Structures are given as structure tokens and as C-alpha cells.
Structure 1
């Protein structure tokens, strides 16, 4: 039986602020959207776990930024798990859901079933990219992979690139709800010191001198940050994943002494922006000779979306800057007259 708290809070991000501590945060719970992200591919369990972790981080981080378009997280390494990529699309209008998509690239033959998932990414980087759409310059921040988890990498990113103390507590995995089959669920809390009170960074305590969230604050702000983190340490995995605990109830349970204040929740859903037109646009820079090298034996150019698995087929004569026919098959010369 589906509970009321599940209906109210699954696939939702709840923003809040702790007025006593000058700390802001987000609580997120993902159910259907995470299941849809993972259902697009047949990933091994260790790859599924990493995609679930980075999708949850994306939901939490994406909601902290006033986006006109897209926030992306990219993780690249030299190990068997080569790429983890997620996109968060901000809502187009008030009241609309945000959208999330994600995928992974890996070498199945090199995966070690006895090694921790994060270790199989190898050496590489964690990057956040923000694209506010047409007329703006995209922003990109990159930090090395560090700390033993994607969650630790995200904390290092904010400390190193933004000098904002940031903490995440996440839980994710397969669960079985009454009357339903096994499916993925995830939940997490993000804490971040308000930019106006964030202090000056001291020497980094991470590997290679990278900053941690504990390296930045000093004085009263340090006490506030430590106190909020001690309270967050008491959270349990089942409280994060739910669905028996409402997000507002969890917030009060954890931080009632810090005077929590909540804002409008944001719904999230799975969404992909791929289309035949976008594929055509991406191929517009190629010559007819280049398009010929992409053409299959049966005379088609094909493309598959890495995020949602959509399959596209094109007449090669309609592609590239030397195309001779329009997408509908009519001769270009006739259409231009």
C-alpha cells in the first residue's frame, strides 16, 4: 500500500534554512525518477550504485542554483568505470517539475566485483558545469577525484572551487515496498554555510592539499557549522530513504533547535532533451565525405541517445552542410527556390 508521505515527498527536493546557524540546505528523496534513470540501461550493480549516488547529488546541487537551463555533473576516470554524467534541467515555469537524466560508460571486462565502486573510477576529475542558456557563457569547475566517494568529491568541489563549507549525507539502494517489487530509492541532505558568513580558507587537509569543508571556517561560524553537522550525523539511512518519514518531519527531528525554515518544494522527474533535430544540428558541421564514413551498409546514419536509449535513423543525403535533401526527403534546391 502506498503511504501518504510517499505520495507527498517522493521525487521531491525540499529547500530549507537553519536561521540559528546561518546554514542553508536541501533534503531530497528520489524514487520513480531514479528508477527511470537506471531502467534505460542494464548496468551492473556497482555501476547502478554510482549512478544513483551522482543522480542524488545532482538533484540536491541543481536545486541550490537559480537555473534558467542546465546543471551537469561529469565524473571521468581512467579505471573500468570511465564516465558518469548527469544533467539537471531547471523548471521552465513556476510549478513545473525539474528534470534529471544520467548515464555511465564502463568496460565490463575490467570491472572487479570485489573492489569498491568508487575505486573503479580510477584517477580523474569531478566537474560541475552550469549553462544558463543562450546569450550566456557556460561555467565549469573541476577538482580531482578525492576522498573515497562521489559524495566526498562534491564536498571537496565546493570547498576548493567555491570556498563554501558543504556537507552531504546520502543513502541509496534497492528496497521493496509493500505490494510492490524491488526498486531503487534514494534520499539525502545537503548542508551549506551561507555565502555571507563563509570564512577564509586555511591550509587544505585533503590529499595533495585539497580543501575540506572543515578547512574554511573559523570563530563563531565554525561553532555553528560543527553544531549543524553533529546533528546531521544522527540521521539514519531509513529516515533518508523513507517513505515512512516525511521530509518536513525529518527536518524537525534533526534540526528543531536550529530554527528550521522551509521553502517551496521542487518536484523532479526523469526527462531527456534528445531529438532528431538536435542530432541533425550536431552533424551540421560535417561534409558529405564525413557523413559517408558514418553511413551504415544499409544506407543510413544512426544515432542512439546515451541518456534515454532513443534510436534515430537518417538519410545521409539530408545531413551535413552539403545536404542535398531536406529532412522530409524533398530536394533542397526545389525547397530553396
Structure 2
């Protein structure tokens, strides 16, 4: 596609590359998708903000990975916001959308009128990649650092992947004339292309608590190119990020026209959950009849609720667990 192409940009991620700077990037817009994610629970506004930021990061990062199944982002802390978790499922087929779901666990009694990020406290930021059956999952963890979830993600890529990375995000409720209030969110991700030979920095970095910063991994022309691209990104305005009046291609040209931007096919994104009755049965297959009995309600059923989409499942206890499976096999 070309920079002049006209497509619907809501709920898309647009990959691009800055040929002059050897930098790749993504521009994301989450609109109806974010509305659906947040509609699953009645979160307080400060928790909604954390979930919105996490969803944007997930969409941007997920599109950079050759993903066969699932990318997960998690933030766990000792503050009132105990857990923010998101999943990104790669497209099932060419042309299909990627799917995002999210969930937050929090202590409502401890919530305070402070910036949302301060509600997390001390903890860690984790990225998990699961390529499906037969593949060993990958997990990378870095401590909570900086003043936002975006800063945590930048620290993760610097510390765990040694890839200079930058995010610029904006999100919030919007109301167009004649339309109900809804969520709009958008962001830009910049990432320096991996070097031909692996770079390994073992001593301390210049970021918070001695962690690595992007410029710790670059020098010479690479550092100059990275600094220039970041200065250009610093000029972006919040309304440019979230749209809808500014198309991502127009924003890309406005910000980086001297960096020789090149765009690729956009990826559609939607809300989606992978839960099912079969998956619940599988998760309960490790339990004995005695264990299943402890899970059985007074009404004589076993229930399960999906924390991501709220789906409710009910089962007859005699059909669950490994002993039930053994009985079925014996009967066959």
C-alpha cells in the first residue's frame, strides 16, 4: 500500500519503517476494541486508564512478533492495582483480525486520588510469549520503573531484549457531535532494528536503579539517528495520536517525512476471548473426584467464570476431572 491509501483506521495497527534511521515502528488506533474491553467490567476511572494504556502497548508489541498463538503482558504490584493483564492473539488466517482481551484486579478500598501508575506500587512488568502446543513458552521480567506503563515496557526492551524502544500514547473518553461518549486511544512505537551481531551490555545502565536506557546501547550514527527520531516524535500532539481527523499515514508523513518512511499492510484488531467450555474442562482435568466435590455448589453443579470476558460456565461434577475421563475410557 502507499502513503496515500485511504482505509478505515479505527482498530488497526500500521507497521512502518524509517529507512534513513534504521528504525521500525507501529501506529495503533484502538476505538471500538477498547470500548468492548472496558465494557466487560465497571472499572473505576483510574483502573480504566491503566487497562487502556496496557491494551495499547499490547497491540503495538503484539504486531511486531511473528506470533502463532498468544502474547501476554502482565503488571503485578503491591499497591491497590494488584494486576493488569492483557492477551494478544495473532490472526487465525490472513486478513483476519488479531484479538485483544484484558483484565484488572484491584483493591477498591485502597484506591486513592493519585496518578493511576502510582496505584501499582512496587512489582514487576512481564512479557510472555506462548507459540502453542509443543513450543516452550518465553517469559521476560523487569521491575516496575519510570512513571508509566510505557516506561516499564521501554525498560523491558532495553533490559531484556537490548532493543532501544520508545512509546508515545494517548487515550481517553471522547464524544463526537450526535454520538455517545466512547473511548479513543492511539499510540506510536519506535524500535531500533536489531544489530547484525548480538549486543550485550553487562555493566549498569543510566536509567532508574541502574537499568539500561536506549542510548546505553547505541553510539555514533546510530545514537544520532535514534535521538533525531525521538525528537521528531516529541512533537506529536495527543489529538494526532487518537484521531479521528488525522490518519496514521498523514501523521507518519508529518512526523518523519525526512526519514524516508515506508509503510506495510495494516493489521486489524478486535476484542476477543479464547475461553470455552472445553478449555475449562481441560483445566479441571488434573483434579480428582474428591477435589471436584469440594468445587461443587449446593445446587450440585460446578461453575466457572472467565475473568476476561465474564462468560459463565456450568458443569455436572461427575463429568469433570481425571477420574471421570478414566471412567469414560473404561466405558468405551
Task: State the TM bucket, normalised to the shorter chain.
Answer: over 0.9
Q: Deviations over 1:201-248 (max 9, x none)?
A: 474122221112222111110000000000000000000000000010
- Mapped contact 1:85–1:102 kept (Cα < 8 A): yes
Given the alignment of the two structures, is residue 106 of structure 1 paired with residue 101 of structure 2, yes or no? no
Give the match for residue 184 of structure 2: 185
**In 1, Cα distance between equivalents of 2:267 and 2:255:** 21
How many residue pairs match? The answer is 326
* Alpha carbons 1:126, 1:154 under 8 Å: kept: yes
Aligned 8 A contact 1:12 1:265 in 2: yes
Name the CA distance, whole Å, in 2 between partners of 1:179 and 1:99: 29
1:302 aligned onto 2:300: no
1:19/1:324 Cα in 2 relative to 1: closer, same or farther (>3 Å)?
closer
Quote the offset at 1:324 in angstroms: 7.6
The equivalent of 1:292 in structure 2 is 293
Deviation at 1:179, TM superposition (A): 2.1
Alpha-carbon offset, residue 199 of structure 1: 5.8
C-alpha separation between the residues in 2 aligned to 1:324 and 1:278? Answer: 15
Q: Distance in 2 between matches of 1:18 and 1:169?
A: 16
> Deviations for 1:97-141, whole angstroms, at most 9, x for unmatched residues?
1111001001111111x2111111111100000111112111000
Q: Provide, for residues 14-40 of structure 1, a one-character-per-residue CA deviation record: whole Å limited to 9, x for no partner.
A: 000000000000000000000000000
Report the Cα distance in structure 2 between the residues aligned to 1:178 and 1:63, rounded to whole angstroms.
33
In structure 1, runs of 5+ residues without a counterpart are: 326-330
- TM-score normalised over the length of structure 1: 0.93
Q: Does 1:131 align with 2:126?
A: no
Q: Secondary structure at the match of 2:73?
A: strand
1:140-189: per-residue Cα shift (whole Å, max 9, x none)? 00000000110000000000000000000000000112221111110000
Shift of 1:6: 10
Aligned partners of 2:7 and 2:186: how far apart in 1? Answer: 15
Q: Classify the secondary structure of the residue corresponding to 1:244.
A: coil
How far did 1:190 drift? Answer: 0.1
Partner in structure 2 of residue 67 of structure 1: 67
Tell me the CA shift for residue 7 of structure 1: 6.7
SS in 1 for 2:324: coil
Q: TM-score, normalised by structure 2?
A: 0.95
Give the Cα separation in 1 of the matches to 2:184 and 2:324.
Answer: 47
User: Any idea what the Cα deviations from partners look like across 1:244-263, whole Å, max 9, x if unmatched?
Assistant: 00010000000000000000
SS in 1 for 2:35: helix
Tell me the SS of whatever aligns to 1:17: strand
- Secondary structure at 1:68's aligned position in 2? coil
Distance 1:72 1:170 in 2: 19
CA 1:193 to 1:324, structure 2 compared with 1: closer, same or farther past 3 Å? closer
The aligned counterpart of 2:154 is 155
Partners of 1:207 and 1:261 in 2: CA distance: 34
What is the distance in 1 between the residues matched to 2:259 and 2:107? 46
Q: Which secondary structure state, in structure 2, belongs to the residue aligned with residue 8 of structure 1?
A: coil
RMSD: 1.8
CA distance in 2, matches of 1:305, 1:118: 26
- Give every structure 1 segment of 4 or more consecutive aligned residues whose post-TM-superposition deviation is greater than 3 Å: 197-203
Partner of 1:166: 165
Distance 1:227 1:200, change over 3 A: farther
| 2:54 corresponding residue in structure 1 | 54
C-alpha distance in 2 between matches for 1:204 and 1:214: 9
Query: Shift of residue 301 of structure 1?
Result: 0.8
Secondary structure at 1:309's aligned position in 2? coil
Change (3 A) 1:280 1:24: same
Distance in 2, Cα, partners of 1:267 & 1:164: 25
